[in-house]
């Protein structure tokens, strides 16, 4: 019945060919996973809104569909694109494809036929199997298109059949849009196909289309000449009230100058009126369009209410997910938008921070210390404003109910916290006088040739933090002290608090004219998008849950990440432990601040302490503090009625919960920590000095303590003034990362016209390599 209905339509001037390999049964839209009705007429303002796109056109340029030799199709690339389109179609979206490739497919087919024909004629003529070199004549594009259309469509049919999706081929020309009756027929057919969950495959009818007339298209909202698939896709998008047009080509997107030139930068968002700020390069290796044609078509579609993204469909690193990434709102390609954000883009913020950061690094140590002291004073002076902003965040978080109790605890600020922050910042101000430009080593390489190694800032830091607004002034002060530029990305749950704290930070920076050195990213940038700025950001420091840290470590492939993914901290109670010390340390390690990454998660107890007063008092104390206990496998085996057995010995609870496990010796405790720990902080409680020293030597963690709480693993408590986090990495910085962890070094060589040739066998100079003593506090 479905096919009969299509056949009963009035004769169409365009060609429609439906796949005959798919089943007639079409799934109803009411069963679709995606149903977000959206009135057409206004394009999306932000990438994050693209998830709402229901009707989508994917335009495949010639460079995407064809092979590098321009003869035949890029089958693997095409298959991955079909898979993504099928996935979105099966979500309930209405997908359409505007495709090139018929000419290339036909060229391959005709070349094969010509070569086969020539070889047969030569064989008959010569009577020999030895054939002369054969050349293929230049093939006319219309003939190639005529020969390739059927094969191209058969390929699409076969690919979409794998996902139980029907397709229909539609060939169009300019007349099909400019003639009112033909345009209505085309519109009606496309709507009918979409209603029945069929993917239309649309192309210009290159077998009959006349040569394109230069400068004849894009003359207004209601007039557009179809001279290539860019203009076709734009015209179709407006005609069908499409939500999103994805134009795939062989470049990453739109650049402010021709791609490949030294200063070319990818434009993230392009606005109408920005055409004068860019320079177009040459067109693609195949196809009849170019970037200028793509931009004109995109702006025409945007004016008609369709959002547009131009992206790379040929890069093997992204082709397999480029379309789905775009629909998910990820920063891919160039997004055409009619709405300009009020503030700078994150790329612009990064450039501003880097420029001001270099000025910050050139300030005298006393000037940087002055900025930090000013920030400390502002935290106390403006505490009422800070606490009022924090109260708004707390009330909203409680009302929405999206945050767990540990995260709400981290979100909360108090007068005591602000006072503690101010004290820490003043400590840091003192230590900052001995940071940037400090001479670490001085060597006399040869006479009048001296080498110095000095400390310098890392560059631009990106700190991403969840729920903890007190992190902002801490990290800002460390960046100031170390002369680093800083981008801050806080959670939206603390937006009001972060805003006032950042304003105070910039107020302090402004006393020496470097307010732009620290930027708060308040745009809708996803964390994954920030992690792709590998040419602009030098180090990422995540402050938050283990899930956040893992996601950032996965996403930041080109940028180093400093941090720890989990804080699975152990306290081991040795057989020679003091009961009083054990009680105090276990209580403080678990109950002082359970949500902290340095809180105890697993309590290891020597087997000899079971069924002793020491063990009983520890259990009673934990119950009094309302700590939920999970039994490890060995501990559970000793009990008739045990607490719930732990699901995993590698668990970070972040709450009033902990695991208890039994070990036979200190060495077994060390082995357990190495197997299940996260190399964060581990503690031994014992009066046996020899046992303690062995534990301190053998445990391979960032922090290892004897008879002291795990909660001491903190930059402020270590006297660092503040910390950007705790690192469990084994290179660069480890443990609480303070000022020293945010510095790197450079080598400075001072000579008097020295050359390497002077030190050859025939040269007149010899290397000395004498170490020159460096006085404490020596600066370059």
pTM: 0.76
- Position 634 scores a pLDDT of 94
**Three-state secondary-structure class, residue 569:** strand
Is pLDDT at 24 greater than 50 in this prediction?
no
- Position 233 scores a pLDDT of 92
More confident of the two residues 126 and 350: 350
- Position 777 scores a pLDDT of 67
Least confident range from 432-436, 472-476, 617-621, 656-660: namely 432-436
More confident of the two residues 132 and 231: 231
Main-chain phi, psi angles of 663, to 5 degrees: -130, 155
- Position 208 scores a pLDDT of 72
Placement of tokens 């230069």 in the chain: 214
- Chain-centroid distance, C-alpha 417: 32
8 Å CB contact between 165 and 22: yes
Third-level CATH fold of 346-443+454-555: Aldehyde Dehydrogenase; Chain A, domain 1 (3.40.605)
Q: How far apart (Å, rounded) are the C-alpha atoms in residues 102 and 107?
A: 8
8 Å CB contact between 120 and 162: no
- Position 757 scores a pLDDT of 93
What is the full DSSP assignment across 484-552? -EEEEEE-GGGHHHHHHHHHHHHHHHGGGT-GGGEEE--SS--HHHHTT-TTT-SEEEEES-HHHHHHH
- Position 780 scores a pLDDT of 67
- Chain-centroid distance, C-alpha 534: 10
- Position 161 scores a pLDDT of 95
- Position 654 scores a pLDDT of 87
Q: How far apart (Å, rounded) are the C-alpha atoms in residues 282 and 259?
A: 9
Q: For 207-220, write each residue's pLDDT tens digit.
A: 676 654 444 433 33
Main-chain phi, psi angles of 616, to 5 degrees: -60, -40
More confident of the two residues 503 and 347: 503
Q: How far apart (Å, rounded) are the C-alpha atoms in residues 71 and 513?
A: 60
Q: How far apart (Å, rounded) are the C-alpha atoms in residues 676 and 37?
A: 49
Closest CA to 461 of 320, 587, 556: 556
More confident of the two residues 486 and 535: 486
Which residues on adjacent β-strands are paired with residue 285?
none
**Three-state secondary-structure class, residue 424:** helix
More confident of the two residues 99 and 583: 583
Q: Report in angstroms the alpha-carbon separations of 612 from 292, 426, 469, 615, 707.
A: 82, 48, 44, 5, 20
Average pLDDT, whole number, for the chain?
A: 85
Q: For 240-281, write each residue's pLDDT tens digit.
A: 999 999 999 888 998 887 777 777 888 888 988 776 666 665
Length of the chain equals 780
pLDDT band, very low/low/confident/very high, at 221 (cuts 50, 70, 90): very low
- Position 281 scores a pLDDT of 59
What is the rounded average pLDDT of the residues 25-34?
Answer: 37
Main-chain phi, psi angles of 688, to 5 degrees: -90, 110
At the top level of CATH, which class does the domain 47-336 belong to?
alpha beta
Q: How far apart (Å, rounded) are the C-alpha atoms in residues 262 and 126?
A: 57
Q: Do β-strands 449-457 and 439-446 pair in parallel, antiparallel, or remain unpaired?
A: antiparallel
Q: Do β-strands 569-573 and 681-685 pair in parallel, antiparallel, or remain unpaired?
A: parallel
What sign has the CA pseudo-torsion 401, 404, 409, 411? negative
pLDDT band, very low/low/confident/very high, at 168 (cuts 50, 70, 90): very high
pLDDT band, very low/low/confident/very high, at 304 (cuts 50, 70, 90): very high
Q: For 499-549, write each residue's pLDDT tens digit.
A: 999 999 999 999 999 999 999 998 767 787 888 888 899 999 998 777 788
pLDDT band, very low/low/confident/very high, at 409 (cuts 50, 70, 90): confident
- Chain-centroid distance, C-alpha 30: 34
The Cβ-side half-sphere exposure at 276, using a 13 Å CA radius, reads: 1
Closest CA to 152 of 77, 66, 80: 66
Range with top average pLDDT, 68-72, 110-114, 649-653: 649-653
Least confident range from 55-59, 259-263, 497-501, 776-780: namely 776-780
The residues spanned by each domain of the chain are 47-336, 346-443+454-555, 569-723
Give the single-character DSSP code of 769: -
- Position 6 scores a pLDDT of 31
Give the single-character DSSP code of 757: G
Q: For 678-733, write each residue's pLDDT tens digit.
A: 999 999 999 999 999 999 999 999 999 999 999 999 988 888 877 888 888 887 78
- Position 215 scores a pLDDT of 41
Q: Do β-strands 657-663 and 600-606 pair in parallel, antiparallel, or remain unpaired?
A: parallel
What is the rounded average pLDDT of the residues 395-421?
Answer: 88
More confident of the two residues 16 and 480: 480
Q: How far apart (Å, rounded) are the C-alpha atoms in residues 106 and 50?
A: 36
Placement of tokens 């309930």 in the chain: 92
More confident of the two residues 546 and 15: 546
Third-level CATH fold of 569-723: Aldehyde Dehydrogenase; Chain A, domain 2 (3.40.309)
Main-chain phi, psi angles of 412, to 5 degrees: -70, 135
Enter the tokens of residue 106: 């036909």
Q: Report in angstroms the alpha-carbon separations of 440 from 445, 520, 668.
A: 16, 33, 41
Q: For 63-81, write each residue's pLDDT tens digit.
A: 888 877 666 688 899 999 9
Is pLDDT at 23 greater than 50 in this prediction?
no
pLDDT band, very low/low/confident/very high, at 765 (cuts 50, 70, 90): very high
What is the rounded average pLDDT of the residues 281-298?
Answer: 67
Q: How far apart (Å, rounded) are the C-alpha atoms in residues 418 and 379?
A: 6
What sign has the CA pseudo-torsion 517, 522, 527, 528? negative
* % of the chain at pLDDT higher than 70: 85
Is pLDDT at 22 greater than 70 in this prediction?
no
Least confident range from 309-313, 458-462, 476-480, 527-531: namely 527-531
8 Å CB contact between 250 and 319: no
Q: How far apart (Å, rounded) are the C-alpha atoms in residues 467 and 424?
A: 20
């Amino acid at each position: 019945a479905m096919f009969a209905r299509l056949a009963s339509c009035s004769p169409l001037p365009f060609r429609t060919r439906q796949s005959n390999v798919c089943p007639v049964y079409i799934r109803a839209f009411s069963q679709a996973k995606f149903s977000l009705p959206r009135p057409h007429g206004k394009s999306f303002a932000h990438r994050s809104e693209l998830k709402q796109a229901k009707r989508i056109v994917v335009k495949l340029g010639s460079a995407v569909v064809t092979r590098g030799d321009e003869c035949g199709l890029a089958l693997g690339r095409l298959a991955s694109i079909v898979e993504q389109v099928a996935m979105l179609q099966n979500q309930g979206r209405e997908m359409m494809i505007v495709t090139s490739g018929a000419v290339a497919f036909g060229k391959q087919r005709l070349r094969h036929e010509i070569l086969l024909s020539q070889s047969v004629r030569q064989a008959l003529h010569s009577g020999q199997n030895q054939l002369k070199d054969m050349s293929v004549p230049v093939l006319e594009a219309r003939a190639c298109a005529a020969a390739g259309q059927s094969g191209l469509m058969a390929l699409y049919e076969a690919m979409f059949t794998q996902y139980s999706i029907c397709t229909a081929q539609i060939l169009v020309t300019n007349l099909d849009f400019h003639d009112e009756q033909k345009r209505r027929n085309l519109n009606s057919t496309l709507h009918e196909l979409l209603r029945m969950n069929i993917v239309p495959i649309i192309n210009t009818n290159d077998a009959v289309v006349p040569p394109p007339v230069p400068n004849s298209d894009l003359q207004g909202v209601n007039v557009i000449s179809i001279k290539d698939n860019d203009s076709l896709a734009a015209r179709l998008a407006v005609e069908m009230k499409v939500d999103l047009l994805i134009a795939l080509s062989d470049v990453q997107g739109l650049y402010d100058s021709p791609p490949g030139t030294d200063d070319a930068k990818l434009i993230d968002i392009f606005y109408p009126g920005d055409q004068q700020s860019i320079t177009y390069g040459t067109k693609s290796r195949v196809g009849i369009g170019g970037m200028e044609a793509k931009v004109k078509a995109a702006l025409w579609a945007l004016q008609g209410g369709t959002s547009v993204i131009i992206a790379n469909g040929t890069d093997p690193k992204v082709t397999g997910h480029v379309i789905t990434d775009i629909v998910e709102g990820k920063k891919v390609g160039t997004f055409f938008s009619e709405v300009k954000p009020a503030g700078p883009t994150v790329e612009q913020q990064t450039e501003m921070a880097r420029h001001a950061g270099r000025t910050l690094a050139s300030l005298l140590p006393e000037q940087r210390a002055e900025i930090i002291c000013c920030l400390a004073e502002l935290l106390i002076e403006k505490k009422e404003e800070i606490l009022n902003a924090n109260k708004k965040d707390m009330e909203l978080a409680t009302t929405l109910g999206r945050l767990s109790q540990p995260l709400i605890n981290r979100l909360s600020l108090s007068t005591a916290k602000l006072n503690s922050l101010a004290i820490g910042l003043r400590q840091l101000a003192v230590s900052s006088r001995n940071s940037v430009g400090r001479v670490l080593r001085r060597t006399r390489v040869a006479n009048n040739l001296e080498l110095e190694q000095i400390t310098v800032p890392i560059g631009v830091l990106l700190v991403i933090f969840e729920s903890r607004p007190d992190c902002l002034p801490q990290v800002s002060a460390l960046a100031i002290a170390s002369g680093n530029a800083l981008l801050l990305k806080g959670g939206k749950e603390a937006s009001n608090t972060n805003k006032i704290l950042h304003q105070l930070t910039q107020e302090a920076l402004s006393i020496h004219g470097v307010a732009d050195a620290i930027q708060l990213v308040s745009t809708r940038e996803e964390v994954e998008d920030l992690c792709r700025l590998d040419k602009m950001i030098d180090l990422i420091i995540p402050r938050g849950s283990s899930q956040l840290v893992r996601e950032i470590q996965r996403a930041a492939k080109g940028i180093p990440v400093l941090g720890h993914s989990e804080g699975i901290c152990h306290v081991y109670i040795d057989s020679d432990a003091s009961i009083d010390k054990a009680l105090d340390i276990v209580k403080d390690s678990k109950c002082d601040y359970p949500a902290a990454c340095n809180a105890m998660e697993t309590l290891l107890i020597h087997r000899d302490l079971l069924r002793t007063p020491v063990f009983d008092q520890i259990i009673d104390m934990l119950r009094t503090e309302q700590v939920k206990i999970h039994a490890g496998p060995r501990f559970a085996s000793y009990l008739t009625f045990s607490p719930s057995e732990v699901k995993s010995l590698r668990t970070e609870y972040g709450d009033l919960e902990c695991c208890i496990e039994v070990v036979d010796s200190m060495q077994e405790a060390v082995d357990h920590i190495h197997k299940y720990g996260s190399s964060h902080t581990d503690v031994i409680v014992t009066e046996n000095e020899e046992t303690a020293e062995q534990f301190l030597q053998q445990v391979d963690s960032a922090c290892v303590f004897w008879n002291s709480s795990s909660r001491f693993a903190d930059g402020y408590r270590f006297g660092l003034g503040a910390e950007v986090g705790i690192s469990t990495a084994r290179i660069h910085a480890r443990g609480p990362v303070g000022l020293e962890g945010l510095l790197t070094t450079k080598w400075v060589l001072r000579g008097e016209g020295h050359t390497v040739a002077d030190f050859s066998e025939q040269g007149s100079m010899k290397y000395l390599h004498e170490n020159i003593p460096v006085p404490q506090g020596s600066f370059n």
